[in-house]
Amino acid sequence: MTSHAAQTSETAQAWQDAADRDLILNAGPRFELLVRGEGSHLWDGEGRRYLDFLAGIAVTALGHAHPVFVEAVSRQAGTLAHVSNYFATPPQLEVAARLKRLAGTGDAGRVFFGNSGTEANEAAFKLARLHGGVGRPRILSLDNAFHGRTIGALALTAKASMRDPFQPLPGGVEHIPATIEALEAAMDDRVAALFVEPIQGEAGVLELPEGYLRAARELTTAHGALLIVDEIQTGAGRTGDWFAFQHDGIVPDAITLAKGIGGGFPIGALVAFGEAAALLQPGSHGSTFGGNPLATAVSNAVLEEIEQSGLVQNARDRGAQVRAAVEGIGSPLVAGVRGRGLLIGVALSAPVAGQVVAAAQRLGLIVNAANPSSVRIAPALTIGDAEIAEFTDLFTAALAEVAAAAPTETPK
């Protein structure tokens, strides 16, 4: 008889072979074949359970198969899924008004819908170009920035490994250090826009210096440039406020959104305020699927549930618990904890993030190596004491396993 272990190995090899054969390998080998989710847990094809503390990279804000999400998809799919942007639909109008209200601008502003974060940033890139015109050719972005992988968004992204194979990229973008002094030195009346992430998630959950966004708002206003805040990873309550810019008490000219606003359904948005809201005119941008009634109905339901269930405050409270739990582990591998709310980066004392993530997955925990020396944690906004206790046990065990196998060193 064939043993269960052998059957499991054969099954795993079969789906891995299919993935290698049929999928473009832009994401590399897939870790597991996941078939079902509920709350903050996932199951693979062999029935093994995992605690999901990544939430699809800060996407599944309500967790998996949440009744509100399921009902919204089912109801709207049975009503109206797509009509094109020659027409408006009630879900589209409702979620656009909701996003403006949550951003704190009241009736001011307008919303463009796409299907992803990178599409939202492409639209924002065009917004900057339209604002700049002939006399403002410069666009500023920050070192370590990640704004997406399409050509325009990639021009805003500062990672050479992502950019270099696709040169030449659209010109005019300059990457500067994420310091107030560097921004003061770079800003002049030829700058069309400054793009900034309040927390650089892909760089290891790096926070901006204290007061950076307030200084950026003052400088961009003084020089007539747009301040465009990329809230794709930080929005929808993840940092303990609806949007991370609100922690600093400022109002940008535009924000870009995706990930958590759909709770797992693909949707992106550019929300522009003030004069910036009038820059995109008929014919200057578009999206066949953007703002379709199915996506916007689901987004509206997800945002309503976050609002009504107090999940923004829960992100703040549970984020503090998770940080305290990590700091209390006492592992020699933990050099510090960064981030806000439930977007958390664990700085490691050695470049072993990949090993920690692999060990965690073997133990039944899903987290992410944002870079060799940082582990990213971004669970659903619905987590509670039970999930945090389970996470603490599993993450402690993963750190201990890696620490026993590799000496620590200070990352350079």
Residues contributing to the annotated binding site: 117-118, 146, 149, 230-233, 287-288
Distance CA 91, CA 302 (A): 12
Q: What angle do CA 249, 252, 253 make, to 5 degrees?
A: 155
Cβ(313)–Cβ(341) below 8 Å: no
Residue type, 299: S
Q: Does the annotation mark 146 as catalytic? A: yes
DSSP string, 163-226: HGGGPSPPS-EEEE-SSHHHHHHH--TTEEEEEE-SEETTTTSEEPPTTHHHHHHHHHHHHT-E
Residue that is written with structure tokens 């269930």 in the block: 309
| Residue 178, token pair as written in the block | 């994420």
Q: What angle do CA 380, 351, 381 make, to 5 degrees?
A: 5
**Cα-based distances in Å from 130 to 115, 174, 390:** 22, 18, 50
Which residues does residue 52 pair with via DSSP β-bridges, in sequence order?
366
Which residues does residue 193 pair with via DSSP β-bridges, in sequence order?
139, 226
Cβ(166)–Cβ(198) below 8 Å: no
Q: Which position among 112, 241, 259, 273 bears the catalytic label?
A: 259
Annotated binding site for N(2)-acetyl-L-ornithine: 149, 287
Cβ(229)–Cβ(245) below 8 Å: yes
Q: Does the annotation mark 112 as catalytic? A: no
Q: Does the annotation mark 230 as catalytic? A: yes
Count Cβ atoms within 10 A of the Cβ of residue 275 and give its class: 0-12 exposed, 13-18 middle, 19 or more buried: exposed
DSSP helix/strand/coil, 371:
strand
Annotated binding site for pyridoxal 5'-phosphate: 117-118, 146, 230-233, 288
Q: Which position among 230, 241, 248, 253 bears the catalytic label?
A: 230
Q: Which position among 112, 125, 146, 395 bears the catalytic label?
A: 146
DSSP string, 142-158: ETT----SSHHHHHH--
Residue that is written with structure tokens 């993840």 in the block: 238
Q: Of 174, 197, 196, 200, which is closest to residue 186 (Cα–Cα)? A: 174
Catalytic residues: 146, 230, 259
